[in-house]
Structure formats: structure tokens, C-alpha cells
Amino acid sequence: MKPPAGRPAISVVVPLLDEAATIGELVDRTLAVLAERGERFELVLIDDGSRDDTLAVLREREAEDDRIRVFALTRNFGQAAALACGIFAARGDVVVTMDGDLQNPPEEIPQLLDAIGKGASIATARRAERHEPFWRWLGSRAVHGLARLLTGARIDDVGGQFKAYRREVIEATRGVWAPGKPFFPLTLFFGFPVAEVSVQHDRRRVGESRYSVLGLIRVNLDLITSFTTLPLAALGVLGVIGLALGGAGVLACLLFPPEGWLVPATALTVFALGGVFSASGVLGLYLARTYESVTGADPGFVVRQGPLRDEAPGDAP
């Protein structure tokens, strides 16, 4: 199915932060790969508050080639926000996302596009070989396991930004995404068909990874708070257990008065904490439901395709 006239078939979105040393090569290699496919395309580049010459290089390339679109953020909002900016600004029927440090070789883009062409709504890269320190690898394993648990996706490599999405996926997430909510796990949560493709993962040639231990911890917390109210429910269950144990202890003290004050005080403390935890859990669940309702965080359901005989939008008299 060809896109409407004037709209690109493919958009490649790249968030950038202080990548002046490699951005020229990234643009050249990406344009060459896309041009070989013979389809209309655009390259969407987002400068996330760079402090080097990244933006100046981007504007120069944009002025030379009308297939390049550049968005400059007012400050450094973070990779997730810059990525979302580019994804929702992209116009292609298929949107490819990738990092700007050349660890994702542009020459691997066709593999993702081919997976989409075979029927997947989402194509994600599985890095055949990863180049990262042990602590980063360990933290990534935690992120991947947690994402699989919360979204139900059966894929090996949840991390990285080397992905491809059909237009239907972008539109389904447009009104639901919010700052702090990881985009890729959100699309998996919606249940769109996903294909995993093995790709090359190169070493970072300039600078070092900007992910830290605190950054990985934050990613895990974002995953938990974005896709589940389980911690609130667990708090409520813990409170009920505390109420039961504390109440039993208080009752036992009344029926069989112990010597001293330690046992009654402990029972009363457990009972009181149980009440506080229960109330906090229940209140938190109510607030979570209100938040989801107001923001549309939980759409309830997502329709991938409607009845074949329904009239197309705009065809009805």
C-alpha cells in the first residue's frame, strides 16, 4: 500500500546529544541506505540540548537536503522525551528509531523494514553482540526481565532504540504516552504483533555511554509505575496482614494479660501500621484509577483493524 502523495513511506528518527563528531557520517550512511530502497523517506533529527556543534551541523545538513527535518529542544529533556518528539512528528507510514552514536549501523535498517513488510506491526532489534561493561549488562537484564513481565512480550532484547513501528502503532500511543513512560514497552503493552530481528551492534567510537547506575534504576522505576499498580496493591495486602496480626496480638493481650509493656506495645504498633498501610494502599489505588481515567494512561482496548465492510472515514454521505 503506497502512502498518499507527498507523505514519506519511511521516517527515520534519531535523538542526538553532543554527537557533532559522528553526526555527518550518521546522516550520510542513513541517506545512502534509504535511497537504495527507492521509496520516499525523511530523516527526522532531534537535538536534545547539545552543548557542542551538533545543532549547527544539523541545520547545515537540513539546508542542503529537503529530506532532512531538524527539531531543536530548548534544553536537555532526556533521550525518551527527544525520541517521543521525533516519533510523533514523523510523517512516514513506517517509523524507524535509532541511537545517534553509530552503535546501531544504519545498514541494518532494511532488516527492520523487511520484518514490517512481512506483517509485523513492530520490529525490534536483538543485538547479536553487546559492547558494554558488566554492571550495564546486569542492569539491562533487570530492565528486560521486568519489561517482559509487565508487558507479556516474548522477546529477548527489550532495550535499545533500534526499532520500527507501523503508523497504526504511533497513532495508538499518541494520546497515551506521557513523560516518564517508556515508549517501546508501551507499544508492547498494547499487544501489537512484534518481530525480533538479529542485528549487528557496534562499539561506541566517540565518548562514553551516558547511562549510569542511577539511570538504570530510574528506568526500572518508570517501568513499574507506568504499567502496574501492583506496588500499591502489595502495600494494601501488607496492611491487611498487619491489621490481622496486630489485632490478634491485642486480643491475646486482653484475654491473657502479659507481664510488662513490650508485647502490648508491639501488638498496638503492628495494628496501627497495618491500618496506615491499608489506607495508603486503597487510597493509592483510587488515585491511580483517577489518573489513568483522566490521562488516558489505560485505553481499555486497542483496535488494530476494523470490519472489512465498514465505510472508510470520509466516505459516508
Three-state secondary structure call for residue 94: strand
Question: How many other C-beta atoms are found inside a 10 Å radius of the C-beta of residue 63?
Answer: 10
Are 70 and 59 in contact, with CB atoms under 8 Å apart? yes
Q: Considering the chain, what percentage of its residues have pLDDT values greater than 90?
A: 42
Helix, strand, coil content of the chain in percent (nearest 5): 50, 10, 40
| pLDDT over 60 (residue 307) | no
* All three cell numbers of 139: 542492569
Per-residue pLDDT tens digits for 271-306: 999 888 888 878 877 777 676 665 555 555 556 555
pLDDT at 96: 98
Three-state secondary structure call for residue 198: strand
Q: Summarize the confidence of residues 49-59 as an average pLDDT.
A: 93
| pLDDT over 60 (residue 134) | no
pLDDT at 186: 84
Q: Summarize the confidence of residues 129-134 as an average pLDDT.
A: 60
Q: Band the pLDDT of 40: cuts 50, 70, 90.
A: very high
Are 277 and 236 in contact, with CB atoms under 8 Å apart? yes
pLDDT at 317: 41
Three-state secondary structure call for residue 132: coil
Three-state secondary structure call for residue 185: helix
Are 104 and 125 in contact, with CB atoms under 8 Å apart? yes
CATH of domain 10-227: 3.90.550.10
Q: Which of 85-89, 99-103, 227-231, 283-287 has the lowest mean pLDDT?
A: 227-231
Q: Is the pTM of this model over 0.75?
A: no
| pLDDT over 50 (residue 1) | no
Cα 81 from Cα 89, distance rounded (Å): 12
pLDDT at 280: 85
**Which comes out higher in pLDDT, residue 218 or 278?**
278
Rg of the chain over Cα atoms, rounded to whole angstroms, equals 25
pLDDT at 203: 74
Distance of CA 65 to the CA centre of its chain: 30
pLDDT at 23: 93
Per-residue pLDDT tens digits for 137-163: 555 666 656 666 666 667 777 777 899
72 - beta bridge partners?
47
pLDDT at 4: 54
Q: Which of 18-32, 86-100, 252-266 has the lowest mean pLDDT?
A: 252-266
Are 17 and 42 in contact, with CB atoms under 8 Å apart? no
Are 162 and 104 in contact, with CB atoms under 8 Å apart? yes
Are 86 and 71 in contact, with CB atoms under 8 Å apart? yes
Q: Band the pLDDT of 34: cuts 50, 70, 90.
A: very high
Q: Which of 35-49, 157-171, 247-261, 272-286 has the lowest mean pLDDT?
A: 272-286
Cα 200 from Cα 186, distance rounded (Å): 25
Nearest partner of 298 among 161, 166, 177, judged by Cα = 177
